[in-house]
């Protein structure tokens, strides 16, 4: 039986109105392809989306929980967190229109007893990806009106940590406009207490910003010393361009706790290094931060 919260979210998205000008192209495309929406009845709904003049192939797949064999197969391939808490692909947008390509997967957490936390996370994931999709469609329309171009976006999620205590979910977005950029966001949950763990909550006070920053800068220099192809924008590594150097992390820097109970600090592509370095991560030695940790419950 479906979880009431996920069912509510699903109904909200199923009932989201489609702009009239888009609906015209949807119906036209379905008619030309011989697809009848009535044949699907109430089992699931596939909604096409058209923007501006022409969309060659547009598919929005709305995932229905346990509604058909195809979804059952998909669900069997989704990472299962423990025996109760699940991370599902709640909704997926796919656009393939010549030089315009998008694939956006929206995760949903199901099974937490803390329904307030579960709802807040799922609503955040829906809002983030709906905004991403809307922006892509708007940019695609704008480029088409200006005689075309190339545009791509790929968004999804990975389970970084899945232990009895920690669930860390990473959401990524890869944008392609000429060159590509990659961003990651993480949510780390204490599965026993069912609370969201923040970076500041791991430490006694905000001195962690300086301590972590200095350790990361030292790791950057050591990596470059071992392999001069590893370039970071940090003092001590020669640079060929006048680029702002990394000084310190932010209060809410991207992070997660790995399966070895170590703190991992993450930087997005271009944030502290050239693009070819991609997303970079630094595992912080626990002995370097043991004096400032609020406790040893998570970091060991």
pLDDT of residue 5: 54
User: 125 falls in which pLDDT band (50, 70, 90)?
Assistant: very high
**Which one, of 197, 200, 174, 195, lies nearest residue 253 by Cα?**
200
Each residue's pLDDT tens digit, 66-115: 334 444 344 434 444 444 788 999 999 999 999 999 999 999 999 999 99
pLDDT of 243 reads: 87
Are 28 and 21 contacting, i.e. CB atoms less than 8 angstroms apart?
Answer: no
pLDDT band at 19 (very low <50, low <70, confident <90, very high): very low
Question: For residue 289, how many other CB atoms are within 10 A of its CB?
Answer: 18
Single pTM value for the model: 0.73
Q: To the nearest whole number, what is the mean pLDDT of the chain?
A: 80
CATH architecture of 200-288: Alpha-Beta Complex (3.90)
Q: What is the β-pairing status of strands 46-47 and 57-62?
A: antiparallel
Distance CA 36, CA 27 (A): 10
The number of residues in the chain equals 300
Q: Does residue 27 have a pLDDT over 60? A: no
pLDDT tens for residues 184-215?
999 999 999 999 999 999 999 999 999 999 99
Calpha distance 143→151 (Å, rounded): 9
Convert the pLDDT of each residue in 236-291 to its tens digit.
999 878 889 999 999 999 999 999 999 999 999 999 999 999 999 999 999 999 99
Among candidate residues 260, 224, 9, the one with its CA nearest the CA of residue 124: 9
Tokens representing residue 124 in the block: 């955040």
Where do the structural domains in the chain lie, given as residue ranges?
4-153, 200-288
Q: Is the pLDDT of residue 39 over 50?
A: no
């Amino acid at each position: 039986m479906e979880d009431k919260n996920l069912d509510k979210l699903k109904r909200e998205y199923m009932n989201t109105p489609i702009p009239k000008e888009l609906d015209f192209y949807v119906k036209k495309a379905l008619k030309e392809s011989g697809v009848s929406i009535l044949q699907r009845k109430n089992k699931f709904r596939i909604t096409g989306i058209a923007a501006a003049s022409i969309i060659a192939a547009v598919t929005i797949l709305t995932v229905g929980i346990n509604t058909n064999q195809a979804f059952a197969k998909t669900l069997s391939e989704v990472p299962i967190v423990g025996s109760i808490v699940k991370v599902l692909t709640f909704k997926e947008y796919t656009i393939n229109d010549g030089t315009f390509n998008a694939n956006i997967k929206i995760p949903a957490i199901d099974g937490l007893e803390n329904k307030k936390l579960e709802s807040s996370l799922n609503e955040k994931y829906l809002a983030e990806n709906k905004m991403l999709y809307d922006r892509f469609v708007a940019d695609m329309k704008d480029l088409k009106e200006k005689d075309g171009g190339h545009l791509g976006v790929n968004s999804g999620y990975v389970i970084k940590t899945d232990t009895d205590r920690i669930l860390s979910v990473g959401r990524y977005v890869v944008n392609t406009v000429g060159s590509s950029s990659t961003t990651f966001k993480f949510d780390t949950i204490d599965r026993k207490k069912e609370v969201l763990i923040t970076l500041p909550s791991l430490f006694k006070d905000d001195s962690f910003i300086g301590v972590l920053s200095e350790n990361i800068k030292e790791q950057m220099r050591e990596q470059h010393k071992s392999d001069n192809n590893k370039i970071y924008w940090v003092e001590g590594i020669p640079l060929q361009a006048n680029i702002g150097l990394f000084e310190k992390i932010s209060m809410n820097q991207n992070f997660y706790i790995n399966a070895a109970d170590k703190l991992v600090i993450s930087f997005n592509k271009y944030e502290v290094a050239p693009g070819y370095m991609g997303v970079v991560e630094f595992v912080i030695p626990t002995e370097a931060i043991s004096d400032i940790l609020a406790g040893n419950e998570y970091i060991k």
